[in-house]
Chain A
Amino acid sequence: MKPINESDKTDLVKEAVETTMAAEPGSSRREFLTQSGRVVAGAGVAALLGNLGGWALSYAADKEPIKIGILHSLSGTMAISEVSLKDVVLMAVEEINAKGGVMGRKIQPVVVDPASNWDLFAEKAKQLLLVDKVAVVFGCWTSVSRKSVLPVFEKNNGLLFYPVQYEGEECSHNVFYTGAAVNQQAVPAVEYLMSKEGGGHKKFYLLGTDYVYPRTTNKILRAMLLAKKVPAANIAEEYTPFHHQDYQTIVGKIKKFSAGGGGCVLSTINGDSNVPFYKEFANQGLRAEDAPIMAFSVAEDELRGMDTTALVGHLAAWNYYQSVDTPQNKKFVADFKAYCKKSNLPDGERRVTDDPIEAAYFGVHIWKQAVEKAGSIEVDKVRKAVYGSEFLAPGGKIKMDEANHHTNKPVLIGEILKDGQFKIVSRSKGLVKPEPWSEYTSPDKGCDWIKHQGTYQKK
């Protein structure tokens, strides 16, 4: 064994490991070096594990840090969308820590990778709650991943912030939904298309990828259209498998369907099928003026990887766009770009923000506010403090619902521009109240955790 002296400082980490392995009582000076070597080695490992921030250093603080979990796929098919959410949550954590943390305690994020695999989602959620004992989890994108972690959170009384727009029909005590319910996205979008301003459309082609979100959304939209006296012959519904690439027949059908004017497409097509669909649409001579496509799953983050030529002029419905003109949004966008650049994330400064990214971001802040209000990180106390809390989010002020675990948000209709950004063409007056159970398909059901025990029958 080599003795350690001051001149060897450059090799300290390596030496420290050797010293530790020797595990032999020595002089106080050597003990000191061993200890500091451990801390440095720990920091090295933490940095290798990826962006765990300065948690090793935070041990130096007086109080234990608060652990939070981040449960987003970092590999596999969903990584393309979910990595950005992990990034923005880490950014929010860094922001909060820089301002002194929560109740004087730093936040220590625990990042896990469920790899786009729903079984792994449940496993990792269990690990976060039982092994890491995190105070709260930010995570999930697809509905199936949420459904698979739901029992874990309910059984262990955990807390999940879910940041993506979804199909509703859920009312869990252990989840806060910061994304839109169907009545905050798809329903207002159809109302817009039917209005004079939106073109007074009369024929609706519901097109989606074959899984739970499009199916449920389209069930609600169909009920809504029928309730608004749209004849059944003017509603078409069609689904394609995941990764579908050949849209020739469907575009042909849409062309026939929308002939004579007044037609539009409500698209819940997901992921990589969008490009072939829009390309085929344009190549067969259809224009946004003939039949606009209103998309519910196409946001800035997806658009930056697409050739947007074929998409210009088509529409989307969200609660936030990067182009929202508020001072706090300008700062948020600049901060996010700076954070991505600083952290050496792929594409760095060229990254964009979008609706789920914003929802993930303000979720962290809502939780922080609630913890401070409750003076505790206990789930039951935090939950009560979240009810009715407000936050000035990048897209404008939002309010957590008083009872149903969802979020009151504005609804914005945007038109796709050449640069992959959106021009806002319509916005709701004030905030839209979330309805987890749609008035069109489940008029008899409600969601309330104050006066009832979650989902209840209306009288």
Chain B
Amino acid sequence: MKVVLSIMLLGAVSLLGAGQVIATEGPRASTAAPPLSLIDRALADLSSGDQARQDAAVNVLIERGDSSLLPKLEEIRDGADRSVRLAIKPLIDLLKNRTNLASPDADRRRSAAADLGSSGKPVVMPWLEAALSGEPNRWVRYTIEESLALIRLASDNPDEKINAAAKLGELRSQNAVPALKELLQQAGGTDATDQQKALANAARAAIERIDIWASWANAFETIFRGISLSSILLIMSLGLAIVFGLMGVINMAHGELMMIGAYATFVTQECFKAYLPAGLFDYYFLAAMPIAFCIVALCGLILEATVIRFLYGRPLETMLATWGVSLVLIQAARVYFGDLTSVVAPSWLSGGAQVMVGVYLPYNRLFIIVLSILCVAGIYFLLFRTGVGLRVRAVMQNRDMSSCLGIPTRKVDAYTFAFGSGLAGLAGCALTLIGNVEPGLGQNYIVDSFMVVVTGGVGKLMGTIVASLGIGGLNKFLEPSFGAVYGKVLILVLVILFLQRRPSGLFTIKGRHADA
């Protein structure tokens, strides 16, 4: 019953479709396109239920069809049963990808080329070759060549296969490794022919080239990952290095200040969405950074004036009080914002740059690396090249003496704390590029931040920088072999052992002000 129905439906569709094709194809119909009846018949055969006729129809449609068939095919698929759907899907994919090869978007051209390559159908080769000649983008060209070679590798012609294997080795194509290994295995048996052996040699050489390349690429990627993680740790810890390191305030709410920074970014984004033209949306992040810094600095100022001011020199009370503040802030964010918050990375920060075969550097991570370097430079400038910085350092080293010399220590405390908090806000803003925005965000990072500052040596900015590089790098170095869970455990153990040997961290303040 179903079959009869679908054939009837098909008849109707193809009648309708025929008119359309004539209208759209125009002059091409007379030269390139086959007689319409052929395509129509194939379309009808698709749902005939007879396997052989179905396959033949698919082949006809792949060879003769083009994207104008897509709407009709989709229609057939929607109404058809499972076996027909299965038969049509690859056909639709091929035709779609063929259209996408001419897309103005390089990413789409590239994924179309990759999909056509993995379809393994020799029929797509002319399409790929045609696309290759006019392709301006280096990486799209690479993918097309790779796809062509992969299809040739699967062909029946032994010479072509050997050439394809060499080409794939030259391309350092990781995608080709499974196919090449299969060739090796085929030649492994005792009854292997000379031809197979020659092929195996070519495959072995190619695999070797690919493997050497892969290990270099891997080393490069590991270093990049280490630097990226380090930059994230650094940007998180900078604020804490000032608040905890320089001022000695154990601020358990530091993570929540980051959370406020993240929410400030979210609110900025929503304002851009609501009040400014859509074209400006991509720039919201540039506005969000100073906004997050200022809002969180203001929060820090309030926190200092209402809580921390009364607790200087009493670390335990400070810790408990700020922990309480952190709980209040978390629940407040949960009540006020709910959980419907997501920050969309601007388009210029999503995706990644491909620097060599198989190696992508995500833009968001590159951005955070640059941002953390700028922050460090800014802090150094502020602390060591300006009058304000001189006063801050003076107060932190000897409060009483500074006070005697007429430095308003109360004010300096407040400003320093606000500055440290502002840095936390900036970190929170940057972290929206990596993770999500939620009330508990700060909790994920606070332990790591303290670990970095303590390992680096309390009171030394240089220590924080070196410690974040060390911990980030070590983490990424250990993770591939130990896994994420044990990698983290191992890092903690190493940090504890290190602090056993050097309780005051990597860099210590020397001289008589170094207490402890």
Contacts and interface: CB of A to CB of B under 8 A. Distances in A.
Interface string A1-28: 0000000000000000000000000000
Given A240-B484, A241-B488, A248 B179 contact: no
B355 to A, nearest CB: 11
A252 B225 contact: yes
Interface stretch (A74-82, A155-163, A397-405): A74-82
Return the 10 tightest CB-CB contacts between A and B, nearest first.
A283-B362, A260-B178, A346-B338, A275-B436, A259-B174, A240-B484, A307-B342, A248-B225, A243-B444, A276-B435
A250 B435 contact: no
Interface stretch (B81-89, B183-191, B381-389, B391-399): B81-89
A253 B476 CA distance: 13
A284 B362 contact: yes
Contacts of B20: none
B403 interface: no
Interface string B313-334: 0000000000000000001001
B480 interface: yes
Contact of B177 (A246, A255, A260): A260
B257 interface: no
Contacts of B178: 259-262
Contacts of A347: 338, 340
Contacts of A75: 331, 334
Given A80-B339, A248-B225, A305-B342, A282 B85 contact: no
Interface in B158-175: 174-175
B177 to A, nearest CB: 6
B479 interface: yes
Given A75-B331, A289-B114, 4 more contacts: A246-B232, A249-B480, A279-B345, A283-B363
B461 to A, nearest CB: 24
Contact of A245 (B82, B434, B479): B434
A285 B484 contact: no
Given A260-B176, A276-B436, A238 B344 contact: no
A373 B436 CA distance: 48
Contacts of B345: 279, 307
Interface in A235-288: 238-241, 243-246, 248-250, 252-253, 255-256, 259-262, 272, 275-276, 279-280, 282-285, 287
Given A283-B360, A284-B362, A304-B340, A260 B175 contact: yes
A350 B340 contact: yes
Contacts of B444: 243, 245, 272
B177 A275 contact: no
Contacts of A390: none
Contact of B476 (A77, A238, A248, A305): A248
Contact of A239 (B232, B479, B485): B485
B438 A197 contact: no
Contacts of A307: 342-345, 436
B103 interface: no
Given A248-B229, A309-B344, A261 B175 contact: yes
Interface in B98-115: 111, 114-115
Contact count band on A: 35 or more
Q: Which of A80, A238, A240, A249 has the most CB of B within 10 A?
A: A249
A409 B476 CA distance: 43
Contacts of B372: none
Contact of A306 (B218, B342, B480, B483): B342
Contact of A238 (B341, B351, B362, B484): B484
Nearest to B120: A261
Contacts of B177: 259-260
Contacts of A77: 440
Contacts of B445: 245
B436 A260 contact: no
A210 interface: yes
B89 A284 contact: no
Given A285-B352, A305-B340, A272 B438 contact: yes
Nearest to B337: A346
Contacts of A289: 111, 114-115
Given A197-B89, A283-B364, A285-B360, A276 B484 contact: no
B350 interface: yes
A290 interface: yes
A272 B228 CA distance: 20
B118 interface: yes
A346 B343 CA distance: 19
A229 interface: no
B271 to A, nearest CB: 17
B221 interface: yes
B438 A248 contact: no
17 contacts: A196-B86, A240-B485, A241-B488, A245-B445, A246-B229, A255-B358, A260-B175, A260-B177, A279-B364, A283-B350, A283-B351, A283-B363, A304-B340, A305-B340, A305-B438, A309-B350, A346-B335
B37 to A, nearest CB: 30
Interface of B: 82, 85-86, 89, 111, 114-115, 118, 174-179, 214, 218, 221-222, 225, 228-229, 232, 331, 334-335, 338-345, 350-352, 354, 358, 360, 362-365, 434-436, 438, 440-441, 443-445, 475-476, 479-480, 483-485, 488
Given A283-B350, A307-B342, A239 B484 contact: yes
A196 B85 CA distance: 11
Contact of B485 (A241, A290, A304, A350): A241
A46 B182 CA distance: 71
Contacts of A239: 483-485
A196 B475 CA distance: 40
A113 B327 CA distance: 17
Contacts of A197: 82, 85-86, 89
A420 to B, nearest CB: 10
A290 B364 contact: no
Contacts of B352: 283-285
A290 B175 CA distance: 11
B39 to A, nearest CB: 25
Nearest to A81: B339
A404 to B, nearest CB: 30
Nearest to A259: B174
Contacts of B118: 261
A279 B360 CA distance: 13
Contacts of B222: 249
Contacts of A346: 335, 338, 340
Nearest to A289: B115
A307 B354 CA distance: 24
Q: Which of B218, B229, B342, B343 has the most CB of A within 10 A?
A: B342
B480 A253 contact: yes
A417 to B, nearest CB: 15
Nearest to B228: A248
B440 A244 contact: no
Contacts of B89: 197
A287 B444 CA distance: 28
A210 B358 CA distance: 29
Contacts of B115: 289
B269 to A, nearest CB: 10
Nearest to B179: A260
A13 to B, nearest CB: 26
Contacts of B85: 197
A210 B338 contact: no
